């Protein structure tokens, strides 16, 4: 069983619902400071605020790019990611072009990833979200190899907007990845039992909504 501190240091606490307010963002920042979250991913318009507010702490600012389906033109995707880094984001979570994947345009999907990585530079970790809830098993396997071949740092399961990540999704990823890159699980993770199961399958980071983060913190504090 993991401790609260161990959980916090694997956590990207997220605030991404459409009505997310300034006050909620400020609350996210304060909770991150208190619990030592590894990172926060909030509304992208507040990246400069989050970066400034977290200076001198052990929490970094991450940012999502091209939610929810990755369909933005590659040049826009790359420029957007570059802007977010210039504003203070220390990690980027981009979405694979799901349409390219389902159209079997695998080279185009990989080129899309490489363009974003090239725009943000080697020092900024890139996570590629493959959106497992909308994929069938063989598509998850294909997406895994596209991300592996791109040479980036992380493969991520889902945005949370299209459904939840299951243990089976993570198992398939783990079988294909074989420890060659890091796995981030995100989307509908609500309790410490799911986290423990995913850790056993090789997950090293978690993206969890702030609401569910607080539920899990309460659960870990009561154990």
State the catalytic residue, choosing from 77, 82, 127, 156.
Answer: 156
- pLDDT average, residue stretch 167-180: 96
- The number of angstroms, rounded, from the C-alpha of 62 to the middle of its chain's C-alpha atoms is 8
pLDDT digits (tens, 9 = 90+) for 47-58: 999 999 999 999
Asked if pLDDT for residue 223 goes beyond 80, the answer is no
State the catalytic residue, choosing from 82, 93, 117, 127.
Answer: 93
Helices (H), the chain: 4-8, 22-35, 47-53, 74-86, 98-102, 106-120, 137-150, 167-177, 192-200, 210-221
pLDDT digits (tens, 9 = 90+) for 106-147: 999 999 999 999 999 999 999 999 999 999 999 999 999 999
Average pLDDT of every residue of the chain: 96
State the catalytic residue, choosing from 82, 117, 127, 184.
Answer: 184
> In this structure, are residues 117 and 152 in contact, taking their beta carbons and an 8 Å threshold?
yes
Quote the CA–CA distance of 23 and 43 in Å, as a whole number: 12
DSSP for 68-127 reads TT--S-HHHHHHHHHHHHHTT-SEEEEEP-HHHHHTT-HHHHHHHHHHHHHHH-TTS-EE
In the prediction, which pLDDT does 1 show?
Answer: 79
Would residue 190 show up in a list of annotated catalytic residues for this protein?
no
Sign of CA dihedral 135, 138, 139, 144: positive
Would residue 156 show up in a list of annotated catalytic residues for this protein?
yes
Would residue 184 show up in a list of annotated catalytic residues for this protein?
yes
- pLDDT-derived band at 67 (thresholds 50, 70, 90) equals confident
- Assign domain 2-220 to its CATH superfamily: Aldolase class I (3.20.20.70)
Structure tokens at 109: 């999907």
Quote the CA–CA distance of 58 and 67 in Å, as a whole number: 26
């Amino acid at each position: 069983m993991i401790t609260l501190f161990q959980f916090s240091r694997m956590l990207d606490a997220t605030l991404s619902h459409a009505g997310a307010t300034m006050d909620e963002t400020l609350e996210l920042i304060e909770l991150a400071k208190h619990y030592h979250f590894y990172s926060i991913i909030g509304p992208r318009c507040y990246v400069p605020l989050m970066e400034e507010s977290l200076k001198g702490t052990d929490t970094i600012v991450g940012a999502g790019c091209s939610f929810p389906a990755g369909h933005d033109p590659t040049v826009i995707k790359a420029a957007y990611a570059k802007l977010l880094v210039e504003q203070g984001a220390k990690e980027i979570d981009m979405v694979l072009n799901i349409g390219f994947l389902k159209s079997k345009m695998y080279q185009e999907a990989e080129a899309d990833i490489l363009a974003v990585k090239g725009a943000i530079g080697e020092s900024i970790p890139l996570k590629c979200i493959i959106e497992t809830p909308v994929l069938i098993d063989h598509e998850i396997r294909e997406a895994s190899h596209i991300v592996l071949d791109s040479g980036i740092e992380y493969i991520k399961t889902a945005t949370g907007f299209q459904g939840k990540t299951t243990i089976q999704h993570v198992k398939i990823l783990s079988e294909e990845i074989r420890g060659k890159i890091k796995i981030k699980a995100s989307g509908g993770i609500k309790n410490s039992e799911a986290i423990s199961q995913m850790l056993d399958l090789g997950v090293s980071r978690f993206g969890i909504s702030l609401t569910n983060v607080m539920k899990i913190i309460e659960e870990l504090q009561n154990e």
